[in-house]
């Protein structure tokens, strides 16, 4: 337990120095409290806070208190240097520090902590003390402030302040824990962006960046994540030049373009100028088309989160399109054994991301169902929504799973269906498998715990 020396605080009998505190007025555009200015960063030497410089006319007041140099030097390498190397003469009794007006209250709390170990209990004040403690290298105070702040209830105001800490203080494990807790809070509160609707426009930029950079973002597809970003940017920054400045350096690099559909990637090139997105779209196309490029990108995913697949509420698809000898679309859908067991049984459904073919939108839908005569089943449906036009092509559907032991898509398991023109949604069963054999530990349908399915649509 740290010793309590509050009896010596500002007491001439127990002090050997006078600390001269110069309080400087804020610049015209200064902010109160935590700021993004670099002057809040920890001082590497004493010059920045002791040098009189040319701004002495900004000094609004000077406070002098008696201090014990041994007590302060023990708590802080900054004060240790101030009272040794920082003194012009060995017998000099006064030492000077210069602080901003907004830092004054926090600095006095810091001095009190260095003597007695006590801190305020109000969270905004604690946050200011943490920043000033980092500036003057009082690590024990930084740790204690972070511990106290971490024990308090989180809300949006404090979460945004904690997110700003890396721009204000040195990153320590304690400070990082506050920032991490803020990110968790924001994701818990707003992670399901499908429920935000118009409320999303009230979220500040820092919160949007946290959501987009998180693997926990709840979103149907990366297409939907991109639409969310664009909607938010248009609502918050109606001026095109300002919106471009926000999208470029802040938001677009959080969008995971490699997992967007080809259709949406084409839209991106129409929505935004090529200078902003051409490199990202090109990178996404290489990721989709080239296995070696994809392997290298995934190897670098620790530094580039845009290559990491989110846990989308609608499963991603891999799609190949051909126009000869007939218009054809081959779609690959993978489902993990765990999600089949937990999300399908006893009454669940897993939908794929939608895709377009022949002028219509399609969705693959996996589900569990029970029949009194035939028992329990796994079923894969193809759902189609016509576009309402009079012209409707006849589409032939073929589907099959990849199976053991050959690990091939075995054509003898293909099921053929034909979709004809209607004005309402069309559903067609493509696969129907007995549930017990499908989900069994030694199931022939799961390869490395993944069910891989192929569906081919052909217009003849």
Per-domain boundaries in the chain: 6-187, 191-307, 317-459
Q: Which of 326, 311, 331 lies closest to 380 in space, CA to CA?
A: 331
Q: Which of 247, 248, 221 lies closest to 232 in space, CA to CA?
A: 247
| CB distance 457 to 362 below 8 Å | yes
Beta strands in 315-374 (DSSP E): 317-322, 328-336, 349-351, 355-357, 360-371
- Tell me 373's DSSP state: T
> What H or E segment, with its residue span, contains residue 87?
none
Q: So what's the pLDDT on residue 252?
A: 92
Q: Which of 191, 221, 223 lies closest to 207 in space, CA to CA?
A: 191
Angle at CA 380, nearest 5°, toward 379 and 386?
135
Pairing assessment for the beta strands 355-357 and 349-351 based on DSSP bridges: unpaired
| CB distance 161 to 138 below 8 Å | no
Instruction: Return the CATH number of the domain spanning residue range 191-307.
Output: 1.25.40
Residue 6, SS3?
helix
Both tokens assigned to 126: 């604690």
The second-level CATH assignment, the architecture, of 317-459 is Sandwich (2.60)
Q: Count Cα neighbours of 99 within 13 Å in the Cβ-side half-sphere.
A: 25
Residues paired with 457 in a beta bridge = 329, 397
Whose tokens are 């009190």? That residue is 112
| CB distance 421 to 392 below 8 Å | yes
Residues paired with 64 in a beta bridge = 20
Q: So what's the pLDDT on residue 38?
A: 39
Residues paired with 369 in a beta bridge = 377
Pairing assessment for the beta strands 360-371 and 349-351 based on DSSP bridges: antiparallel
- C-alpha torsion sign, points 421, 425, 430, 432: negative
Q: So what's the pLDDT on residue 196?
A: 73
- Tell me 2's DSSP state: P
Rounded Cα distance between 138 and 117, Å, is 11
Residue 252 gets the label, from left (phi > 0), alpha (psi -120 to 50) or beta, of: alpha
Ordered strands of the 59-67 beta sheet: 59-67, 17-24, 94-100
Among the CATH numbers 3.30.710.10, 3.30.420.40, 3.40.190.10, 3.40.50.1220, which is that of 6-187? 3.30.710.10
- C-alpha torsion sign, points 334, 337, 339, 343: positive
Rounded Cα distance between 290 and 296, Å, is 10
Q: So what's the pLDDT on residue 365?
A: 93
- C-alpha torsion sign, points 25, 31, 34, 38: negative
Q: So what's the pLDDT on residue 54?
A: 54
Helices (DSSP H) in 290-441: which residue ranges?
A: 291-299, 337-339, 435-439
pLDDT tens over the chain, length 460 residues: 467 888 888 888 998 889 999 999 876 554 444 443 434 456 555 555 555 555 666 888 899 999 999 999 999 999 998 888 655 544 567 888 999 999 999 999 999 999 998 888 887 789 999 999 999 999 999 999 999 999 999 999 999 999 999 888 888 898 999 999 999 999 999 888 877 766 666 889 999 999 999 988 888 899 999 999 999 999 899 999 999 999 988 899 999 999 998 889 989 988 888 888 898 999 888 888 887 888 887 777 655 678 888 888 898 888 888 888 888 999 999 999 998 999 998 888 999 988 888 878 889 999 999 988 888 999 999 888 766 555 566 778 888 889 988 888 876 555 566 666 555 567 788 888 999 999 998 999 999 999 999 999 888 7
Q: So what's the pLDDT on residue 185?
A: 95
Q: So what's the pLDDT on residue 198?
A: 65
Chain centroid to CA 174: 20
Whose tokens are 């051409």? That residue is 278
Q: So what's the pLDDT on residue 37?
A: 42
> What H or E segment, with its residue span, contains residue 300?
none
| CB distance 292 to 286 below 8 Å | no
Residues paired with 356 in a beta bridge = 361
Q: So what's the pLDDT on residue 1?
A: 43
């Amino acid at each position: 337990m740290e010793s309590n020396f509050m009896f010596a605080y500002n007491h001439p009998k127990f002090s050997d120095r006078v600390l001269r505190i110069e309080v400087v007025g804020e610049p015209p555009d200064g902010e109160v409290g935590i700021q993004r200015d670099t002057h809040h960063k920890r001082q590497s030497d004493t010059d920045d806070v002791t040098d009189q410089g040319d701004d002495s006319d900004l000094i609004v007041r000077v406070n002098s208190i008696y201090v014990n140099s041994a007590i302060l030097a023990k708590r802080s390498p900054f004060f240790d240097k101030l009272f040794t190397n920082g003194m012009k003469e060995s017998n000099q009794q006064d030492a000077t520090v210069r602080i901003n007006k907004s830092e004054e209250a926090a600095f006095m709390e810091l001095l009190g902590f260095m003597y007695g170990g006590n801190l305020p209990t109000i969270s905004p004040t604690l946050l200011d003390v943490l920043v000033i403690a980092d500036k003057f290298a009082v690590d024990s105070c930084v740790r204690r402030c972070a511990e106290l702040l971490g024990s308090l209830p989180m809300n949006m105001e404090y979460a945004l302040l904690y997110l700003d800490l890396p721009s204000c203080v040195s990153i320590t494990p304690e400070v990082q824990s506050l920032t991490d807790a803020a990110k968790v809070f924001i994701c818990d509160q707003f992670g399901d962006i499908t429920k935000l609707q118009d409320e999303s426009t009230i979220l500040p930029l820092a919160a949007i960046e946290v959501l987009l950079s998180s693997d926990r973002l709840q979103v149907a597809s990366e297409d939907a994540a991109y639409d969310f970003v664009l909607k938010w940017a248009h609502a918050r920054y109606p001026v095109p030049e300002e919106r471009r400045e926000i999208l470029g350096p802040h938001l677009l690099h959080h969008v995971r373009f490699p997992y967007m559909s080809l259709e949406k990637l084409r839209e991106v090139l129409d929505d935004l100028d090529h200078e902003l997105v051409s490199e990202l779209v090109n990178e996404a196309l290489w990721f989709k088309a080239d296995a070696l490029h994809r392997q290298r990108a995934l190897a670098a995913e620790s530094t580039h989160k845009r290559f990491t697949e989110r846990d989308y509420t609608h499963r991603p698809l891999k799609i190949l399109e051909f126009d000869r000898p007939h218009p054809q679309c081959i779609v690959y859908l993978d489902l993990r054994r765990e999600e089949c067991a937990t999300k399908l049984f006893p009454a669940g459904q897993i939908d794929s991301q939608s895709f377009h073919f022949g002028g219509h939108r399609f969705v693959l839908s996996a589900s569990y169902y029970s029949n009194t005569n035939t028992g329990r089943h796994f079923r894969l449906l193809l759902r189609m929504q016509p576009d309402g036009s009079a012209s409707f092509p006849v589409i032939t559907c073929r589907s099959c799973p990849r199976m053991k032991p050959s690990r091939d898509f075995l054509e003898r398991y293909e099921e053929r269906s034909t979709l004809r023109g209607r004005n309402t949604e069309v559903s067609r069963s493509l696969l129907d498998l007995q549930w017990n054999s499908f989900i069994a530990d030694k199931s022939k349908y799961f390869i490395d715990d993944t069910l891989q399915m192929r569906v081919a649509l052909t217009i003849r």
